[in-house]
Amino acid sequence: MQIIRTIQALRTELSRVTSKGMGPIGFVPTMGYLHEGHGSLLERARMECGTVVLSIFVNPIQFGPGEDFETYPRDEARDLHIAEEKGVDIAFLPTMEEMYPQPVKTKVAVSELTTLLCGASRPGHFDGVTTVVNKLFNIVKPHYAYFGMKDAQQVAVIQQMVTDLNLEVQVIPCPLVREQDGLAMSSRNVYLSPEERRQALSLSQALSAALEGITKGSLRTAPEVQEHLRSVISKAPLAQIDYAEVLLFPQLQAVSDDATLSSLSETVILAVAVKFGKTRLIDNVLYQPKAGV
C-alpha cells in the first residue's frame, strides 16, 4: 500500500495506474478513525476495482461552529493498519494546506435535499461535504465511489451532485453496518459514556420496532411511525431527539400524512437523529413496500 500526502504525487501515481490498465479506480472517501462500516466499503471496492483509493481527511468546512472538528477522533497509525488489511492500494492523507491552500471561495451546494433532516440542524454541513467530495472526485477521478447508507442523506445529496454536474463517477451506496447489539457504527460512538452507550440502543430499537409495526400493520402512516419512533426513543432519559422522520428516498420528500406506507410504490426512509450530551447520533432504515411483492 502506498501512502500519499500530496495531490501532485497522487495524480502521478493514478496516471501510472491508469496507463497500465490497472483500473477501474474505486474510491472510499472518509474522515478516518475507521470502523467496520468503512471496512465494508473497502472490501466492496476491493472486490470490484483494480485500484482502491482510500482518502482520510477531516474536512473542516463540513463542521459548523461549536461542532466537534477539533475533537473529532483521529488515529492515523490504526487507520493505515486497517487499510493495509483491507487491501487498499493507495491511502491518500492530504494535509489541510494541501486541500485548502487558501480559504476556499468556491462552494458546491445542493438545494432542497439539504434543507431537512441533518441539513436543518447542521446548516452549511452538506455544502462542506459536496464541496470536498467534488474536489476529491476531481483529484482521484474514480470510476466508482463507495458511501455508507449510515449517512443516507449524504448519499442522496452526493448522487444529486453527480447527476446535476455530469460527473462520470458511479456512486455506490453500501449497507449500514451495526454493532452486535444493533448500534449503528460511527466514529463518534467513542464519545459516548457507558450509560449513554446503553441508551443509544434506543435508536436502532425504535427503528426496527417501527419497521416491524409497518410490516405487521400496527403502524400505518408516516405520522404514526414518527410518533412511535419518538415515544420509543424518549424512554431513554438522556436522549434529546433532533428529528424522527419518514420520507421518500432518495428524493427526501414528505410522504402525505394519510398515505398507507405499505401501499406506496416508492422506497421510504425512517431516519432519526438523537443527541446524548454533546454527541449527536444518526440512524436509519429503508422500507421498500414492494420488496416482498
Joined grid coordinates for residue 53: 483509493
Smaller CB separation from its own copies, 18 or 121: 18
185 annotated to a ligand binding site: yes
Annotated catalytic residue, options 38, 125, 143, 228: 38
Task: Tell me the C-alpha distance between 178 and 234, whole Å.
Answer: 21
CB atoms within 10 A of CB 69: 15
CB of 97 to its own copies, least distance (A): 14
Q: Which residues bind its own copies (CB under 8 A)?
A: 7, 11, 104-113, 130-131, 134-135, 138-139, 160-161, 164-168
51-56 and 25-30: which strand pairing?
parallel
Task: Tell me the C-alpha distance between 111 and 207, whole Å.
Answer: 27
Smaller CB separation from its own copies, 103 or 194: 103
CB of 163 to its own copies, least distance (A): 8
204 annotated to a ligand binding site: no
CB of 107 to its own copies, least distance (A): 5
81 annotated to a ligand binding site: no
Task: Tell me the C-alpha distance between 290 and 113, whole Å.
Answer: 24
CB of 123 to its own copies, least distance (A): 16
Smaller CB separation from its own copies, 247 or 274: 247
Active-site annotation holds for 38: yes
CB of 217 to its own copies, least distance (A): 35
Smaller CB separation from its own copies, 38 or 135: 135
Rg value, the chain, Cα: 20
Nearest to 214 by CA among 116, 117, 286: 286
186 annotated to a ligand binding site: yes
258 annotated to a ligand binding site: no
For residue 244, the cross-strand partners are 272
Q: Are 237 and 199 in contact (CB under 8 A)?
A: yes
Joined grid coordinates for residue 26: 474505486
Task: Tell me the C-alpha distance between 59 and 190, whole Å.
Answer: 19
Smaller CB separation from its own copies, 131 or 279: 131
Would you state the torsion angle of the CA atoms of residues 39, 145, 184, 292, taken in this order, to the nearest 10 degrees?
-110
151 annotated to a ligand binding site: yes
DSSP annotation of 54 reads: E
Contacts of 212 (CB under 8 A, 6+ apart): none
Return binding residues for ATP: 31-38, 148-151, 177, 185-188
**Hey, which residues are catalytic here?**
38
Binding residues for beta-alanine: 62
Q: Could you tell me which residues are annotated as the binding site for (R)-pantoate?
A: 62, 154
